[in-house]
Amino acid sequence: FFSPFHTMAGAAKKQDFDAIYRQPNPLAFRKDIMESLSYVCDDFTRQEFDRLLLPLIPQLKQPCNVVDLLCCFGNTTMAIVNGMSVEEIHQNWSDEASCKTVARPRRFPCNITGVDISQSALDYTTSSGINDASICADMNTSAGVAQVLPAMKSADLLISTAALVYLTAETVDKVIREFASGEGTGYAIVNFLNPFNAEKTDEMKRILLKYLTFVGSRASRHRKLSEHEKKTFGAYGDWALLEIWVLQRGVGKPPGPVDTKAQDYYDSADAFNFYRTVWGSECLHVGIYDAETDQVELGPERIRLASVKAMEKLTGKVAPRQDMRIMDMGSGYGHTARSLAKKYRSHVSCVELSKKENELNRQLTEAEGLAHLVSCPSERSFTNTGEKSGTFDAILSEDSFLHAAGTQQRQKAIAECARLLKPGGVLAFTDIMQSATCNKDLSAVYERIDLTDLGSVSQYKQWAQENGLLLMDFEDLSHQLPIHYSAVRTVMMAKREAGELKGLISDDWLNKMADGLQEWVTQAEQKTLVWGYFRFCKPMLLRDGKDASAPRYRALPALPPTAIKAAIVSAAGRLGELDTRAGPGCLISMGKLSIVAHLLVQLHSAGIERVLVQCGYMGQKIEDSIRRTLPSEVYKKLEIQFMQLGNDCLHVNSLRQAKEFFKPDERFLICMANHIFDPTLIQKMACAPLQAGAEEAYALVETDFVGMVGVPATIYKVRLHRQDLQDVRAVQITTELMALDNADGVCAGLFACNYTVFDKVDALASGEAVYFTMADVLAGYVTSFPSSLHCMTTDKKVWFAAETKDTLAYAISNGLRDIGIISDDSKWLQDGAFDFEGKPIHTGPVGQAKWPGGSDWSSFSVERWRNAVYVTTKYFGELCEDTIKFIVEIAKQIKLRGESVSLVEVGCGTGEFVYPIADHFRVAIGVDFNANFINFCMSQMRGDKMRFVHGNAAELVSLMKQTAPAHIWTDTKIVACVGNTMGIIPVWLKPRVYQQMKELAGPKGVVIIVYWNANWFGDACQNFYHMNPQLCGPFGGESIDLDRTTLRTPEPVCYTSHWTSVEEARQILREHGMEEIIVEERGKGVLVAARVLPE
């Protein structure tokens, strides 16, 4: 940067770095700025981009155009586009060779243009691949601005890192105005520095807000002040600070021409007084009339009651809840908005063109104390609300779109709704339309409220589809139109005759309204007008062509032609522990999808083509949720039919009604709606050799009970006949309170059946049993010998049943990573579970009902441990991954030397670390002195590369001599202790364990220790230990020693854990005679690799 616009005026201002910016590469920039002045701001800029903009990038045109304005050497582009941290940029720019290319690929498809005055900097960014094109221009000249404007207009993403203050206000106004005028949605991420040139910064902010809409911001550190700057800003401190702004174009600008007919109509004194006195309430829309309204004398009160009924029906279509963000398009006096705020504590944004109605809305809202929940800004159009894209859970509109001044404006209104909705959001509205068969002149209808035309059902469906919305349902209530308008006309005429409208509404206006209302009644009776309830939903976001809401499953081969292709999903049965008044347990969201939606995705992934969903308790909520949230790819390809059976329907009885869905020679799967499966299990059952007419059935059976958590007493238990291992059959199936030890297996909630299952159900239904289960039905197949109930085992594939809080807690802590999903989506469950209202479900500890005494770690249950440390992915997920990569990389380096390598892990727990890396070693041995853990590990062991040994790490060498294969003594050994095992070993025992690890590793080996990072200790006390009392027990502030970064909890648990700093780790190595290979801080961990110093 060696232009006047890159250097702030006055030597007593900001440090001059011009010489650095003239260099041919960024090495001096890295050394003299990034390293010497602790330049960290790119991390925070990237984080803010990831928070606010990265999820929206797929909505931009692909590939999108990126402009980095005054880009320097492109470090901010590397952070934003390539997702690189400051540390990774340091490494990338460590020398002349490494800086010639970018170390990481771009995170999204884009074309990048860099703009700067330094030709050498631009040459570097293009040659290295940071930018695709460059513009060298002095932007404080008219010629320079002219060079840049075309790129600004075509940009979809504008990056400007603390650079605008180097430009004149005139230049900034021109380039931002040009960016704001570009087509489609666009975003800008702009940084400002403190304490430099505050007045100029404020001026730049005003220009940005003149043309763009503010989205969000963050304050952070930028870099340390130079010595020169410290003298100038002596009272400011050591750091220059940064403001990061995110802005959007395409909303918030002055709207284009708006047809004001509707505004003029509703703002007229005649119309305003008519609706207030005749309509009888703040609800200005068609009502629903029934026996209850007929009990009310014909007058404003009857119209009011009918209008409220219509409003409540509409709001029920979107399942409002607390903190939901809803838009009311055509809000009128705000009655609907205030009703939602009062009843559900939802946040409602009102859109209304009528100034008078907005003013009254604000007055009434303020009077009811709801201004913090209901916003009614200025007059706004349906087609340009000025709101940010993807920010509303629901949009409502009552009989308002007909006022949108013509077909084109209504189409734009639907497009605006689609833009505003979040993925999974719902658009519900009513409108008055002309029927598909209407061939009459409706000019008299239009004249009443100054219309030029009406929409139609088919048009709204088409416009919604064009904008990516899915139709959930349309409910035709056209029969209400003549009732409603006849009532309104009768009340108006009665009030006119009584003189109640004298001086309020002009005679001319009343005459026109009387004629118009009669025309509406006549046309409605002739069925030329339509009125009803639409409901559309916005599909979940797309990612790489697939829906981001569902984890992606590994590709499976197509089902053979003879396989089962249909299924029944049963969401009807007795209420369980997880069913609540808010919704049934199958609607609990795990990650971003409900359990039943996950099941439907898995059925589709396995090749199932047709599904009948039988809905019992809160069945309409189940259907609505599936229609709204099921990924569009699945929704379009999977043929789904819903059967509503009512809240009192009992599960197996409902099977009788499924007969109509299937032909007598058809086969099908039966799945429980609160179960999810690895799709390979579904394929396995779909390929069962079930004969269409034979009296037989197949059940998926779990025979491995070790580690199962939260098993309900009523789970279906089976005893098996194993004489023919190729065709295992059940000799008993029951829900009796049989101990699992006495059973050979439990049913996993997936069955393959044919038409004979309906005969079994009919037989039970004709008997005396009031309630019977699927187990009772299947028992009908085991009465003969040999049994005709075949059992297929899970073969250690993952399935999950959300039947108790313990099972749910285990699933969340475990992460269900191995349920057939691709590795990139392994963290699909990291956000936890949510109830039907979107509130997080707080799951408690699983396993033992009371604490084991003292700190006797040998008494820990498997369930308690697995729910506590390694599987707490929300807190330690990145550290677990870093640990695996760290050790695997060291193992690779050893093997590259031509040496065999074995692994011994001290304190292996339940094997979470050994399992994923065992294949990288000749043998991987886990050692733990908790027998429960070792027994569990051995039961889960697969392949011949894993061993698990019960024993004391203080006797590690002799233990290995007794149990390890002989080849480990000639192998190069990695001896590891990870997951802060060292932090919980008693202080007096640690020297002995270190010594044993050293001795076992020997002079060729590597000792690896992963401590928990002392810098995170305070955070962990609050966000890890307090959230995991099953690990450490409850405790208070007296248990926390911040100086020594140690936690000591009180009796009865007496848990102790020490967190280690980098400096302390190095001291430990010196004290125990080990040479440092690597000691580095990595997030919440301190990763250490060392070797034994020669004697």
DSSP calls for 709-754 = -S--TTS-EEEEE-SSTTS-EEEEEE-S---GGG-SEEEEEEEEE-
Of 165-169, 440-444, 868-872, the one with minimum mean pLDDT is 868-872
pLDDT at 58 over 90: no
Q: Measured between alpha carbons, how far is 270 from 118 in angstroms, rounded to an integer?
A: 66
Q: Measured between alpha carbons, how far is 116 from 951 in angstroms, rounded to an integer?
A: 65
Task: Check: pTM over 0.75? Answer yes or no.
Answer: no
Question: Which pLDDT value is given to residue 1011?
Answer: 95
**HEC letters along 1036-1093:** CHHHEECCCCEEECCCCCCCEEECECHHHHHHHHHHCCEEEEEEEEECCEEEEEEEEC
* Band of pLDDT at residue 17, cut at 50, 70 and 90: low
Question: Which pLDDT value is given to residue 581?
Answer: 54
Q: From the CB of residue 422, how many other CB atoms can be counted at a distance below 10 Å?
A: 16
Comparing 440 with 582, the larger pLDDT belongs to: 440
The pLDDT of 803-813, averaged and rounded, is: 74
Question: Which pLDDT value is given to residue 653?
Answer: 64
Structure tokens at 865: 């441990």
pLDDT in tens, 121-144: 999 999 999 999 999 999 988 888
pLDDT in tens, 333-378: 899 999 999 988 899 999 988 888 888 899 999 999 998 899 987 7
The pLDDT of 501-518, averaged and rounded, is: 90
φ/ψ of residue 23, rounded to 5: -70, 155
What ranges in 928-989 are assigned the alpha helix state H? 931-940, 956-963, 981-984
The pLDDT of 728-743, averaged and rounded, is: 75
Question: Which pLDDT value is given to residue 994?
Answer: 95
pLDDT at 853 over 70: no
Question: Which pLDDT value is given to residue 256?
Answer: 40
Question: What share of the chain in percent tops pLDDT 90?
Answer: 44
Question: Which pLDDT value is given to residue 68?
Answer: 95
pLDDT at 10 over 50: no
pLDDT in tens, 1016-1039: 999 888 878 876 665 777 788 889
pLDDT in tens, 82-95: 999 999 999 999 99
Q: Give the best-scoring range by mean pLDDT among 36-50, 222-236, 376-390.
A: 36-50
Question: Which pLDDT value is given to residue 328?
Answer: 96
pLDDT in tens, 913-923: 888 899 899 99
pLDDT in tens, 174-210: 899 889 888 888 999 999 887 777 778 888 888 888 8
Average pLDDT in the chain? 84
The pLDDT of 476-498, averaged and rounded, is: 94
pLDDT at 767 over 80: no
* Band of pLDDT at residue 8, cut at 50, 70 and 90: very low
Beta partners for residue 114, in sequence order: 68, 134
Give the DSSP H or E segment for 470: strand 470-476
pLDDT at 255 over 80: no
pLDDT in tens, 552-601: 899 999 999 999 999 999 988 665 556 555 568 888 888 888 999 999 99
Of 28-42, 189-203, 243-257, 548-562, the one with minimum mean pLDDT is 243-257
Q: Measured between alpha carbons, how far is 125 from 104 in angstroms, rounded to an integer?
A: 14
pLDDT at 869 over 80: no
Question: Which pLDDT value is given to residue 922?
Answer: 94
pLDDT in tens, 697-715: 999 998 886 556 666 666 7
* Band of pLDDT at residue 158, cut at 50, 70 and 90: very high
Question: Which pLDDT value is given to residue 543?
Answer: 44
Question: Which pLDDT value is given to residue 1028?
Answer: 65
At 246 the three-state DSSP class reads strand
- Whether 728 and 793 have beta carbons less than 8 Å apart is answered as yes
Question: Which pLDDT value is given to residue 775?
Answer: 86
Of 601-615, 653-667, 1073-1087, the one with minimum mean pLDDT is 653-667
DSSP 772-783: --HHHHHHTTSS
Largest pairwise CA distance in the chain:
114
CA dihedral 1066, 1067, 1071, 1074 (to 10 degrees): 10
pLDDT at 887 over 60: yes
pLDDT at 223 over 90: no
Q: From the CB of residue 410, how many other CB atoms can be counted at a distance below 10 Å?
A: 24
Comparing 635 with 47, the larger pLDDT belongs to: 47
Of 696-700, 931-935, 1074-1078, the one with minimum mean pLDDT is 931-935
- Whether 902 and 971 have beta carbons less than 8 Å apart is answered as yes
Of 56-60, 528-532, 924-928, the one with minimum mean pLDDT is 56-60
- Distances 791 to 276, 516, 724, 788 between C-alpha atoms, Å: 70, 71, 11, 10
Structure tokens at 801: 């049943």
Structure tokens at 854: 């003292």
Name the residue among 337, 280, 274, 347 with its Cα closest to residue 311: 337
* Band of pLDDT at residue 945, cut at 50, 70 and 90: confident
Of 248-252, 535-539, 655-659, 920-924, the one with minimum mean pLDDT is 248-252
Question: Which pLDDT value is given to residue 393?
Answer: 92
Q: Give the best-scoring range by mean pLDDT among 300-304, 862-866, 1065-1069.
A: 1065-1069
Q: Measured between alpha carbons, how far is 267 from 360 in angstroms, rounded to an integer?
A: 12
pLDDT in tens, 960-974: 999 999 999 999 999
Question: Which pLDDT value is given to residue 93?
Answer: 92
- Whether 343 and 366 have beta carbons less than 8 Å apart is answered as no
The pLDDT of 105-109, averaged and rounded, is: 93
Question: Which pLDDT value is given to residue 11?
Answer: 30
Size of the chain in residues: 1095
